[in-house]
Structure 1
Amino acid sequence: MRDPRVVGQGVPHRRVHFHDPEAPTASVVTPSVFVSVRNERGQLLLVRRCDSGTWELPGGRVDVGESAVAAALRETVEETGVRVRITGLVGLFTDPAHVIESAGDETRQQFVVCFHAWLISGEPRPDLHETSYAAWMDPIDIAALPMEPGAHRLIRHALSGASDPHLD
C-alpha cells in the first residue's frame, strides 16, 4: 500500500522549469488558479504536494465550463478541506519561462490567476491524492519550507501587502 506522505512512492512525477535554458518547449498554455488563504491569526494556508514534497498555495487547473473563481473555491476545498471566500486578486502570472512537464506527455506554460481569500470554515486536511499535508503557516516560517521558485513567487506577492495586483 502506498503511503501518501512519502514522496515519489508510486506518484506520477512532474518537472518544473523556472527560467531554465534546458526547459522543453511548452505545447499548451493551461489556465490555473492558486489561492492565498489567511486566517484570523494572519497565517497562510499551504499544502505539500504528494509528487514532489514541495509546499505551495492550494490550487490547480481551471476546468472547461468553470470560472476562475469557481475553480479557486473548488481546488481549495478539494486539497485542504477548507471553505473560503475570495476577497481579491494577488495577481496574474503568465511567465512563458515557467514550464511544467507532466508525468504524461504534456508540457505546459502556466497561466496563473492567484486570489486572496479568507477562511469561512473547516480545518486543514490533505486530500492524500495531490496533497500530503495541509496546514496554517506563520509567514515568518514559510521561507524555510522546500518550494518551487514559481510557488515562492506567488507566496511572496501574496504576502507583500501590495494594493495593486501583480501583472505579467
Structure 2
Amino acid sequence: MGSRRDWYRDPNAPRPNSLKPGAAALITDDNGRVLMQRRGDSGNWSLPGGIMEIGETLEDCAVREAREETGLDIEITGLLGIYTDPAHVIEHADGEVRQEFSVVYYGRVTGGELAVSDESTSVEFLRLEDLETLPVHETVRLRLRHHAEQRSTPYLG
C-alpha cells in the first residue's frame, strides 16, 4: 500500500501534472448492494474503474476495468455522473499527479465470477450503510450519495 495518495481540498496538495480520462462503474446486485473493491494501493474501498486506453470508448473502459478488477462482465445501463473536481488530485509514486477526471456509469452484471485482482485486496457487494464505517475516499462517498439520491439526471461537475 501507499503507491497512491489522494488529496482533496488540501492547500498542501502537489500541483497536478497530468489529466487522463477515466471511467468507473457503479454496479448493484438484486438487493441494492454496491460492488466495491478495496484498493491495494491506498487501502480505500472504491468503485471498479481506471484510465481509458487508446482505441476504446469510455463505456468500453468501464466494462474492461470492471472485468479486470472484479472478474465480472457487465453492461452499461446509465450514467451516474461526470466527476472532474480540480480540488481532487491523485499523487502516484512515479511522480505523476493527476487531476480527477472520471465518468461514472451504472452497470449490470451479465456474467463472470467475482474475483480479486492484483489491484485489490477484496472485492464484494456492500450495503451503503456498511460503507459508512469503512475507509472510503470523500470523492467516492460523493458518488455513493448521488446514487442513494436516485437522481433523475446525471451529476455534472
TM tier, shorter chain? over 0.9
Specify the alignment match of 1:144 in structure 2: 133
Tell me the distance in 2 between the aligned counterparts of 1:118 and 1:24. 37
Higher mean C-alpha deviation, range 61-70 or range 71-80: 61-70
Q: Does 1:16 align with 2:6?
A: yes
Q: CA deviation at 1:98?
A: 0.6
Q: Does 1:71 align with 2:61?
A: yes
Indicate conservation of the 8 Å contact 1:124/1:136, yes or no. Answer: no
Q: Does 1:154 align with 2:152?
A: no
Tell me the distance in 1 between the aligned counterparts of 2:86 and 2:134. 25
RMSD value, Cα = 1.2
Tell me the distance in 2 between the aligned counterparts of 1:148 and 1:39. 22
Percent identity between the two aligned chains? 37
Higher mean C-alpha deviation, range 104-113 or range 156-165: 156-165
The unaligned stretches of length 5 or more in structure 2 are none
Tell me the distance in 2 between the aligned counterparts of 1:59 and 1:160. 21
Higher mean C-alpha deviation, range 153-162 or range 113-122: 153-162
Q: Secondary structure at the match of 2:14?
A: coil
Tell me the distance in 2 between the aligned counterparts of 1:97 and 1:138. 28
Tell me the distance in 2 between the aligned counterparts of 1:148 and 1:164. 23
Q: Secondary structure at the match of 2:139?
A: helix
Tell me the distance in 2 between the aligned counterparts of 1:155 and 1:50. 20
Q: CA deviation at 1:158?
A: 2.4
- Describe how 1:47-58 pairs up with structure 2 within 5 A: 47-58=37-48
Tell me the distance in 1 between the aligned counterparts of 2:148 and 2:67. 21
Tell me the distance in 2 between the aligned counterparts of 1:122 and 1:43. 18
Q: How many residues align?
A: 157
Q: CA deviation at 1:38?
A: 0.9
Q: CA offsets per residue over residues 29-54 of structure 1, 9 Å max, x none? A: 11111110011121110000011211
Structure 2 counterpart of 1:75, one-letter code: E
TM-score (norm 2): 0.95
The unaligned stretches of length 5 or more in structure 1 are 1-7
Q: Does 1:123 align with 2:84?
A: no
Tell me the distance in 2 between the aligned counterparts of 1:84 and 1:147. 23
Q: CA deviation at 1:159?
A: 2.7
TM-score (norm 1): 0.89
Moved beyond 3 Å, runs of 4+: none
